[in-house]
Chain A
């Protein structure tokens, strides 16, 4: 069994190695993926478009775009093709990663890399469980983590940039008595649920009592969602910095968190853009509109509801993106905690809050809405903003909407959205996996099997996909291939049989 380990490895991309130049791996072989998984001791070789891995139950080709680093044990002598190369070979030179060099130099490079990886493997083996987590500290945060260092470093930089932007926009700073916020990153669902105490499918939570802390599960199958939810939950902490004794009502608290959840990090420029369109939320709103449902401002403010994440987010997005309202909304948000004209009441955990009717009055007052007609006019502008200004540009929104439609039993709608996602070139194997499940449930067995094959082509090292494909094949008259795929799934992930077929 090849155990995936989370490791941090030096950069060496597979594209540097020419096709066919690799040889069978062994104890020194190692495959590091961009999502943090590392496989050691695999039997593999370079292939035209990536790395070909030989498992006991079949071969899989790992696409180059998934490979962060690869070492294939043993060194195969290159074949000289030109006169110049033949001369170099005669002089005893060898070709390594496209460059001709002395064998000693090549051996030194390989040995150094292997040493570095061995050290890193040792480090991550030692710190892979929460009892031995790694720690780091930055200007505003104390980090604890069991995810690969290079993955963690990206999140560390994002969190600092995020803090700076919010602190500047809202003029907040960390209270001295609380110190730096502890942020915990967990590398597996099991470890996250176990150690953080979170239940079900929670991806992150902010603990607002005692010593605050933020707990985040790094879902390597959906890192974008991990990032979005991290920003959302971290925003609850940042809102606390306005007044630690105040508990923000569901709207605007969740809606502002969702607004900041729509942020995007540029790793090259190390720049964070905030307040982007939450496309999944927008798709949900558009769906409501298509069914003739439109929420009003009064509805959002007076009653806590799920739509605070969708319609509520869009209201905040509208106000924060309109010069006429941005400052007023911010003052309203801060004023809820401190304006002596606003009635505050006791809330749970010895905190204070504002109830709906008082909040509505405050909202009208801060936004300069003197009459019901003024409120209606603002509402009209907001609804127009949703329909005319907010746009869906990528496939992420469609993907979220498709998944939501599938889990909500809207199969026709889900199928259309999945197909639009695929037509738009989604890179997500998860879309194909769920699409396949949907097709299978609708008795479109051959199409489902093809969709699972597509999912595997996009990420061939996910045991759950192989197991689902194997089960489908076995039930569709291809027992031998099906059983082989199921066995391969278990080679990749011993738990694959408990997750791959679920959802059907």
Chain B
């Protein structure tokens, strides 16, 4: 890290309340915020915490992989030992189960705090390496500190082979630290010595400042907060959110990571600068392509500059990604990848592209993104996944297997017609179908077909034909209109009910079993009906001018494009 970068890191660290300040020269990890230090095994790599991490205060990964071959199946699995340091703050644990209400401009946001009760509870709730049991548990004293030593065996459903978890839990002042290391059982003798040395090196040191008082260590911006208010207000909140996230990420960087702050993104990396910058350049180019190609989507909405984290390799990425982290509906902006030894064309970049597409669309128009019918969402993802910056532009390759599959469909005339795909409900799209499909899964077949359709609609060929010129744009704009109108209707209906005092009126309860069954059946059908209404409405608005002969021509051009 450059001197400037280091200085900035420390400055940000000070702003955010003090975080890790590992001393690389002494091979020692020092954390003055929580008040501990220890010496990880020589050459083990520090893994940075996730920006929304709550409990894990340090993580290290071994410099060497180990292998286990299952004697029955002959399969060989790779395993990399990993150490976690988890902090159990007494005051947070005592508030177990409480709902914290954050007041923000008159709106209450409830956050359920559900901390781990202790180390065993943490293990029960987070460990995914297989079934385990506590083989030995002993209380002792190390360097004047009370320590509980665990030896845990992982045997059942241990996919990468039987493992051992060596953990010492240190009883600190107001905070307990669990230092947990997972190693393959057959490597316990060898790796266990290094781990033991590390465990013995752990010391409690004087804390600088106060311990966090909430399970949520970092500032949190919920989707509700990000989407509230006028466009200008949203832009202001999102800017704050991005700046906060960037600062937290920089503050949490280990000493041997570097970063580059650009206007359009924050690049943090643990690989060579050139490779990382290539991914950053690609990200900027892809965002520019989104801006140009979908400029009509959420015009004027602020898109947060993402955090692009490039790990040294896939193992480091996997290590980084374990822990609490964000969920499916995460409001975060971090894109995690690694320097792919398979090169710039590998799957690592496919995943980066998918994530960028989702981030961009959700900041521009989240409601539109979530309302997209299956063919459009999957089609866009499938198409964008293979995008690669090339020169000043973007190149959109196609997955070889997918290409072969859609070509076969075109040859034998069994492909799904574009108009059928565009009117297909989610249930049909994802339905299991006949055996012997192209990919082995009918859903994946349809995803490949959707990718091909989006590719066709964005192609130059499509822009040259009056039937398909601007078709995708018309479709997306119409979808947006329909979604907005339905939301406005819903709000108006609610307002009206409020005015008429019916706001709290609950739906009339069924009185017989038949009515109850009917009601449940209706509810099951309701979302399908709504989906069908949206599909039909969008079709009518965007595509009603096309007649059967137009669709025949479109079909011909579409299947011919493969």
Contact = CB atoms under 8 A, between A and B. Distances in A.
A209 B517 contact: no
Interface stretch (A57-65, A313-321, A384-392, A403-411): A403-411
A89 interface: no
A194 B132 contact: yes
Contact of A131 (B133, B158, B513): B133
A197 B157 contact: yes
Given A303-B432, A349-B73, A130 B133 contact: yes
Interface stretch (A2-10, A210-218, A221-229): A210-218
B513 A195 contact: no
Interface residues of A, number: 32
A413 B157 CA distance: 39
Contact of A410 (B71, B124, B153, B520): B520
Contact of B134 (A131, A196, A408): A131
Contacts of B432: 303-304
Interface string A125-145: 000011100000000000000
Interface stretch (A32-40, A46-54, A350-358): A350-358
B516 interface: yes
B500 interface: no
B508 to A, nearest CB: 13
B513 A412 contact: yes
B156 A195 contact: yes
B560 interface: no
A413 B515 CA distance: 10
Interface residues of B, number: 27
Given A196-B156, A350-B73, A190 B135 contact: no
Given A131-B136, A195-B133, A197-B130, A356 B520 contact: no
Contact of A190 (B124, B157, B158): B124
Contacts of A129: 133-134
Contact of B516 (A211, A304, A411): A411
B240 to A, nearest CB: 38
Contacts of A131: 133-136, 153
Nearest to B511: A412
Nearest to A192: B131
B73 A412 contact: no
Contacts of A86: none
Contacts of A411: 516
Given A209-B72, A410-B513, A195 B132 contact: yes
Contacts of A357: 435
Contacts of A412: 510-513, 515-516
A174 to B, nearest CB: 16
B404 interface: no
Interface string B118-142: 0000001000001111111000000
B133 A198 contact: no
Contacts of B158: 197
The residue among B432, B510, B516 with the most chain A CB atoms within 10 A of its own CB is: B516
Contacts of A304: 432
B156 A197 contact: yes
Contacts of B516: 410-413
A207 interface: yes
Given A409-B520, A410-B517, A197 B73 contact: no
A245 interface: no
B133 A211 contact: no
B131 A198 contact: yes
A291 interface: yes
B70 interface: yes
Contacts of A271: none
B512 A195 contact: no
Interface string B413-439: 000000000000000000010010000
Nearest to B97: A498
Contacts of A303: 432
Interface string A118-161: 00000000000111000000000000000000000000000000
Given A194-B131, A210-B72, A291-B517, 18 more contacts: A129-B134, A131-B133, A131-B135, A131-B153, A193-B124, A195-B131, A196-B156, A197-B130, A197-B156, A207-B156, A210-B71, A210-B73, A291-B521, A303-B432, A349-B73, A355-B435, A410-B516, A412-B512
13 contacts: A129-B134, A131-B133, A191-B133, A197-B156, A207-B156, A209-B72, A210-B73, A291-B521, A304-B432, A355-B435, A357-B435, A410-B520, A416-B513
Interface of A: 129-131, 190-191, 193-198, 207, 209-211, 213, 215, 291, 303-304, 349-350, 355-357, 408-413, 416
